[in-house]
Amino acid sequence: EVQLVESGGGLVQPGRSLSLSCTASGFTFDDYTMHWVRQLPGRGLEWVSGITSNSGAIAYADFVKGRFIISRDNAKNSLYLHITRLRPEDTAFYYCAKARRVEGVRWALFDSWGHGTLVTVSS
Amino acid sequence: EIVLTQSPGTLSLSPGERATLSCRASLSIRNSYLAWYQQKPGQAPRLLIYGASSRATGIPDRFSGSGSGTDFTLTISRLEPEDFAVYYCQQYDSSPLTFGGGTKVEI
C-alpha cells in the first residue's frame, strides 16, 4: 500500500523559511515523479511543484517566483519542499503526491496523496 | 495556462439521484488529459478518473467521466451517502498543472 507522510508544517512568521518533508513507502520511490500540491484554507487545490524520478527535471507554479525549492533523496525515499520568504498567503495544507505515469507526459496527474501538513504564516 | 471552470459550484441532491458535474477548459485539452478527484472534509483528494473517462483502481462504476476538447463531465449515476463531497477536475495537458475550483455535492 502506498503511504506518503508529510511533516514540517507549523506556525511561522512572515519572511522566515520552512522545510517540508514527505516520506514514502509501499512503492519504488525512485521510479516515480513526485509533486507538492497545496490547498488554502477552505479553498481549492493548487499545484506547487514537481520533480522527476532522478531529479533531472523540475517545474514550479508561476506563483512560486523563486521562493520554493523542491528536492528529493531517493536513498531515503523522501521528497522535500523548502520555502523561503514566507507570506501570509502561503498559509495552506501542503500535500505530497505521487504521479501516475502517462506515456509521453512529464507532468501528469496524482494517484496517491499524503494527508498533508499545515503551514500557517502569521506574526 | 489552461484555466478550468467547474459548474455548478454546489449541487444539492438526494441519495439515489444522478449527479452531473461540468468542467470547462479555456483551451482545448489534447488526448483527454483530464482527471477528476474526490475530496471529503479533513481528507486528502482521491483520484477517481483519468484520461477523461478511465476509472482509477477501486472506483465504483457509478462514477463515469466523459468529454473531450474543452468540455468534460463527471457523472455519478446514483448517489450513495459517501459520495457527498467536493469534486475537482485537473488538466495535465500542459504545465502549469491546473485544477478547477471544485463542485460541492451536498445533500
C-beta atoms surrounding A41 within 10 Å = 9
What is residue A103's predicted lDDT score, i.e. its pLDDT? 87
What is residue A39's predicted lDDT score, i.e. its pLDDT? 96
Distance CA A52, CA B2 (A): 22
Tell me the percentage of chain A whose pLDDT exceeds 90.
89
Q: Is the pLDDT of residue A65 over 90?
A: no
The alpha-carbon gap from B38 to the nearest alpha carbon of chain A, in Å, equals 11
pLDDT grade, residue A42 (50/70/90)?
Answer: confident
User: Per-residue pLDDT averaged across A74-88, rounded?
Assistant: 97
Distance CA B96, CA B103 (A): 21
Interface test with A, best of B6, B37, B92, B103 (most A CBs within 10 A): B92
What is residue A41's predicted lDDT score, i.e. its pLDDT? 87
User: Residue holding cell 439515489?
Assistant: B16
What is residue B107's predicted lDDT score, i.e. its pLDDT? 85
What is residue B96's predicted lDDT score, i.e. its pLDDT? 94
Q: Compute CA A41 distance to the chain's CA centroid, rounded to the nearest angstrom.
A: 17
pLDDT digits (tens, 9 = 90+) for B47-106: 999 999 999 999 999 999 999 999 999 999 999 999 999 999 999 999 999 999 999 999
B97 and A114 in contact by Cβ < 8 A? no
pLDDT grade, residue A31 (50/70/90)?
Answer: very high
Phi, psi angle pair for A119, to nearest 5°: -110, 125
CA nearest neighbour of B95 among A25, A53, A33, A10:
A33
User: Per-residue pLDDT averaged across B10-34, rounded?
Assistant: 96
What is residue A20's predicted lDDT score, i.e. its pLDDT? 98
Cell of A69: 525549492
What secondary structure does DSSP assign to B41-106, as a single string? TTS--EEEEETTTEEPTT--TTEEEEEEEEEEEEEESS--GGG-SEEEEEE-SSSSPEE---EEEE
Residues 31-50 of B with CB under 8 A from A: 33, 35, 37, 39, 43-47, 50
Q: Mention every residue, 6+ apart, whose C-beta is less than 8 A from residue A77.
A: A23, A24, A25, A29
Interface test with A, best of B97, B98, B99, B103 (most A CBs within 10 A): B97
A44 and B1 in contact by Cβ < 8 A? no
pLDDT digits (tens, 9 = 90+) for A83-118: 999 999 999 999 999 999 888 888 899 999 999 999
pLDDT digits (tens, 9 = 90+) for A1-18: 999 999 999 999 999 999
CA nearest neighbour of B36 among B107, B95, B94, B92:
B92
Q: Which amino acid is at A5?
A: V
DSSP letter for A85, please: S
Computed on alpha carbons and rounded to an integer, the radius of gyration of chain A in Å comes to 14
What is residue A105's predicted lDDT score, i.e. its pLDDT? 86
